[in-house]
């Protein structure tokens, strides 16, 4: 599907906001959540304030739903998790969502004409005013949700959780025989008759745990994916307050005076601000853990283990030979190799040069005790550390020097008794 342009995105935002607002209000009227004219006169005040809170919250949620849905359809086919589009586009989509959500003002004002509230001559105008405030709150929150994907996810998850609580609360009331009664926004009171569930007669602690726990869980899950990216981590850290903030604002606007409400509504008003703090704490915790994991990964990448190479270290090998008592010298100037060995009787060194007369040199015992005589080969020279030329070093100019005279040949002792005599080639008989 092709991405929507400016005109298509604006039209989508208006249509989705209007449809979501009408659907939620119809659902609330059908379940008895919003009741402007309750059957029991004693429940008039409770139903009135609860209906105002629901009307404000539904108008705000409808605005956000229209703007976010238009943005997501416009981003279809693009990669990445960040919200795209410039600030002008985001503001335009938020305004379009607010325009579509204005239908909630009409759908709230018309049924509210039957309400009978003390000290209120035009209840429909007052109810419409609360719905308009909800649209304004939704406009500001929609700009935030369009900028931060984690905030939009938090709002959507919170809306789904609240309507799930509504279904559970209404079902519990029908099963208990109370019929369709007004449900509190964002809270489910399991049993208001038990005195053990109340703290000082105005705090319902099961509802506190349920609301705070859901805000914490939604804040953690909604910010988990976005917090992994460093550029979006700040928005993810504060996204946990987006959904609970709408509930807190709806309660604050609808009931400025807590003296006129029941203890159940006082508990709901008391829990709403703390749910905002708990939800924000959950998202901040996720962002902090993501940053800590990123630092550990960077520290592990910075420590690179030293790799072992297969290069041969000539210097170490020469040091081992030198420590074994075998002096080795290589003359590189004249191109001749000189090998110095030690006599077995300790009489002195024996000097042999490559290319000299084998008869003049005689036989020399090797390292294994055997002798080499008349073979015409000199022992292969070994490199020493002192004479090994440095790598990448430039050769120094040398001056020709006179070759020292050869030492007179010396008489070597006879071979030891256990020496193996040289093999004599057999002569083939002539015919």
Mind listing the pLDDT tens digit for each residue in 125-155? 999 999 999 999 999 999 999 999 999 999 9
Phi-psi category of residue 348: left, alpha or beta, with phi > 0 → left and psi -120 to 50 → alpha:
left
Q: How far apart are CA 137 and CA 61, in angstroms?
A: 9
Residue 233: pLDDT band with limits 50, 70, 90: confident
Q: Which of 107, 130, 105 is nearest to 117 (CA)?
A: 130
Instruction: Dump pLDDT digits (tens) for 177-225.
Output: 766 777 788 887 766 566 677 777 677 788 888 889 999 999 999 998 8
Given a cut of 60, is residue 20 above it in pLDDT? yes
Q: How far apart are CA 255 and CA 261, in angstroms?
A: 8
> Quick check: 182 and 169 in contact, CB under 8 A?
no
Helix ranges, 103-228 (H): 103-109, 123-147, 149-175, 205-224
> Quick check: 104 and 55 in contact, CB under 8 A?
yes
Q: How far apart are CA 376 and CA 162, in angstroms?
A: 103
End-to-end CA distance of the chain: 105
Q: How far apart are CA 207 and CA 404, in angstroms?
A: 109
Per-residue pLDDT at 306: 55
> Quick check: 205 and 212 in contact, CB under 8 A?
no
Instruction: Dump pLDDT digits (tens) for 273-307.
Output: 899 999 999 999 999 998 888 888 888 887 655 55
Helix ranges, 176-329 (H): 205-224, 233-237, 242-254, 263-302, 314-323
Per-residue pLDDT at 47: 84
Do you know the residue count of the chain? 431
The percentage of the chain sitting over the pLDDT mark of 70, rounded to a whole number, equals: 63
In angstroms, the Cα distances linking 182 to 52, 97, 138, 170 are 12, 28, 24, 8
Q: Residue 231 is encoded by which pair of tokens?
A: 């550029």
Q: Phi and psi of 365, rounded to 5°?
A: -75, 140
Q: How far apart are CA 363 and CA 370, in angstroms?
A: 10
Please give the model's pTM, rounded to 2 decimal places: 0.67
């Amino acid at each position: 599907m092709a991405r929507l342009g400016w005109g298509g995105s604006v039209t989508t935002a208006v249509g989705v906001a209007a449809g979501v607002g009408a659907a939620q209000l119809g659902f609330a009227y059908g379940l008895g959540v919003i009741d402007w004219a309750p059957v029991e006169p004693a429940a008039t005040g409770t139903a009135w304030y609860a209906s105002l809170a629901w009307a404000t919250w539904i108008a705000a949620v409808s605005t956000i739903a229209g703007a976010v849905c238009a943005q997501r359809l416009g981003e279809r086919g693009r990669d990445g998790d960040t919200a795209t589009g410039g600030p002008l586009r985001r503001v335009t989509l938020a305004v379009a969502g607010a325009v579509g959500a204005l239908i909630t003002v009409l759908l709230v004002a018309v049924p509210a004409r039957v309400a009978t509230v003390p000290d209120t001559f035009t209840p429909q105008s007052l109810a419409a005013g609360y719905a308009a405030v909800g649209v304004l709150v939704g406009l500001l929150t929609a700009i935030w949700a369009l900028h931060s994907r984690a905030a939009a996810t938090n709002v959507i998850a919170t809306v789904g959780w609240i309507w799930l609580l509504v279904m559970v609360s209404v079902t519990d009331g029908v099963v208990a025989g109370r019929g369709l009664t007004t449900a509190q926004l964002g809270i489910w009171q399991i049993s208001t008759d038990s005195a053990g569930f109340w703290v000082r007669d105005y705090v319902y602690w099961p509802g506190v745990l349920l609301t705070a726990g859901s805000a914490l869980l939604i804040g953690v899950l909604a910010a988990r994916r976005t917090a992994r990216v460093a550029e979006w981590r700040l928005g993810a850290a504060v996204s946990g307050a987006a959904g609970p903030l709408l509930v807190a604002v709806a309660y604050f606007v609808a009931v400025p005076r807590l003296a006129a409400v029941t203890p159940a509504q006082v508990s709901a008003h008391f829990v709403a601000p703390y749910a905002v703090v708990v939800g924000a704490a959950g998202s901040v915790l996720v962002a902090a853990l993501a940053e800590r994991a990123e630092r550990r990964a960077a520290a592990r990448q910075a420590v690179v283990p030293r790799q072992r190479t297969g290069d041969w270290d000539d210097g170490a090998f020469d040091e081992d030979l030198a420590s074994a008592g075998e002096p080795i010298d290589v003359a590189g100037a004249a191109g001749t190799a000189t090998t110095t060995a030690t006599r077995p009787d300790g009489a002195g060194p024996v000097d042999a040069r490559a290319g000299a007369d084998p008869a003049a040199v005689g036989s020399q015992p090797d390292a294994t005790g055997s002798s080499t005589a008349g073979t015409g080969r000199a022992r292969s020279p070994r490199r020493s550390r002192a004479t090994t030329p440095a790598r990448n070093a430039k050769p120094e100019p040398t001056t020709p020097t006179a070759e020292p005279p050869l030492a007179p040949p010396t008489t070597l002792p006879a071979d030891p008794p256990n020496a193996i005599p040289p093999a004599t080639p057999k002569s083939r008989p002539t015919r």
